[in-house]
Amino acid sequence: MSTLQISLAVAGGLVLAGVVAHSAWSTRKNLPKRATPREPAPEPAPSAGVPLTLDADALAERQEPSFDTDSGLQALTQLTLPDRRAGLDILIDAMASVALESVVSGEAALAAMPNTRRVGSKPFGVEGLSVANGEWEFPAAGHRYSAFQCGVQLANRTGALNQIEYSEFVITTQAFADALDGQAEFPEMQDEVARARELDQFASAHDAQLSFTLRANRTAWSPGYVQQSAARLGFATGAIPGRMVLPANQPGHAPILGLAFDTQAAMADDPEQTALRELTLSLDVPQVLRSEQPFARMCELAIALAGSMDGVIIDDNGNFIRPEAMEGIHADLELLYDTLDGRDLSAGSALGRRLFS
């Protein structure tokens, strides 16, 4: 083989090696950012308090407020008692009284309860007047009651209570009263339907659900990278794949913020090979206590995530969200909070959460 042939072969080999190296470099460059391995954390020392994982599990997904008590939460009584359920309230419920000829046991009341706790799309509830303490409560075994009241919610995010739903409420309540040999008395249907429409109009005009979109600048993200970055800022993994939540500071309340990305990517056989270019940070304003300062935290966390993950914050139209725009939204929210407070439907309160659910 001549010197020229050898030189050409060497040159060709070098070119081929360069092409392969460049291809490998390009492939690696375009891979989504992955979570960095971390050393396993030391076992926590025994504590007399509640495990930190308890709040993350309990608050991973918002549970719709209802009239029912949940026997599965008995172990959390001390944590959630202040806001475990919203009792019937004339402010947002149509209510019917059930008079009794004699005292009724809790067992009899529970046996007479309807199979469903809903009337159409609205929550339905029953409360008994306790002989022991003179307070209204959800019927319980071992207790005795001198009267009952039934209620159906006037409005929620599905709309206002209509005449068909009210008629179903009457039928359900009457069946409960008949089972206890009680006498039910109902408010006028037209009046309650009119109240429902007014409440629904107010709620529709003062409902606020905000979201920011974080978009990758250059390199995409893997689900693990997103989860690790968000966890550093206090987010906990939710029950649904592709969802994380920022737990409330006060036990028993809804998460402050939600963070969501593609569910299919999170459920892939190898999530670290999937590429995410966007994720959504959301705030359900009426569900979160004003004292949590949720929008301020939403802005801070969006900026922190964008900075650490090399992303930008955009709105639904793909426009960059600037600090002055965030300040304007914050001012509008303060007025909204004041209005809700004025109607005794404060954001994050039991009644507020029921109405905006």
CATH class of this structure's domain 206-355: alpha beta
Question: How does DSSP assign 133-177, residue by residue?
Answer: TS-EE---TT-EEEEEEEEEESEETTEE--HHHHHHHHHHHHHHH
Interval 222-244: pLDDT, tens: 999 999 999 999 999 988 999 99
- Residue pair 169/152 in contact by the 8 Å Cβ criterion: yes
pLDDT at 13: 54
Mean pLDDT of 292-316: 94
Asked if the model's pLDDT at residue 213 lies above 90, the reply is yes
103 burial via Cβ count (<10 Å: 0-12, 13-18, 19+) = exposed
Interval 105-139: pLDDT, tens: 999 999 999 998 999 999 999 999 999 999 999 99
Domains 93-204 and 206-355 equal at CATH topology level: yes
How far apart, in whole angstroms, are the C-alpha atoms of residue 254 and residue 258? 10
Asked if the model's pLDDT at residue 42 lies above 60, the reply is no
- Residue pair 260/251 in contact by the 8 Å Cβ criterion: no
Spatial CA neighbour of 308 closest among 15, 8, 36: 36
Domain ranges of the chain: 93-204, 206-355
Q: pTM for this one?
A: 0.75
pLDDT at 54: 29
The CATH code that applies to domain 93-204 is 3.30.1400.10
pLDDT at 272: 75
Asked if the model's pLDDT at residue 24 lies above 60, the reply is no
